Copies of this chain bind each other. A is one copy, B any other.
């Protein structure tokens, strides 16, 4: 008796797998660069990038906005504060909140990182046509919306 005909699943064509592998490779690459050149990790980078927007934000804001678990934000912020890159003061209005802002050195570091980050992104996107970039952009947004909406 033969095996029943079975629909095989090719991992290399399986979207969740492809996304995970690509994202891991890109993140690893970025992480190495950030670590070697600037001594920060991905969580710290995301926090700095978010703070560079200028608004005063709390740990929770970052947690909600930048896809990092609260403990991870808390510890990363602590490291950044110890290095003087981020200013961390208790909110006067609400004693539970912490007001986070980029310091001068923090902004200086940010401005050194940005060109590197954009350059890496540009080199990546280089392999795509303009139209492919457009559609990739839209597709990622749609997928993210879908997965965000409970599936």
B121 touches A29 (CB 8 A): no
- Closest chain-B Cβ to A27's Cβ sits at a distance in Å of 5
On chain B, the residues within 8 Å of A29 by CB distance are: 147, 151
Q: A109 in the interface, Cβ–Cβ < 8 Å?
A: no
Q: A22 in the interface, Cβ–Cβ < 8 Å?
A: yes
Chain B residue at minimum C-beta to C-beta distance from A52: B8
On chain B, the residues within 8 Å of A83 by CB distance are: none
Chain A residues with a Cβ under 8 A of chain B: 6-9, 11, 14-27, 29-30, 42, 46, 49-50, 52-53, 66-67, 111, 114-115, 117-118, 120-121, 123-128, 131-133, 135-136, 138-140, 142-148, 151
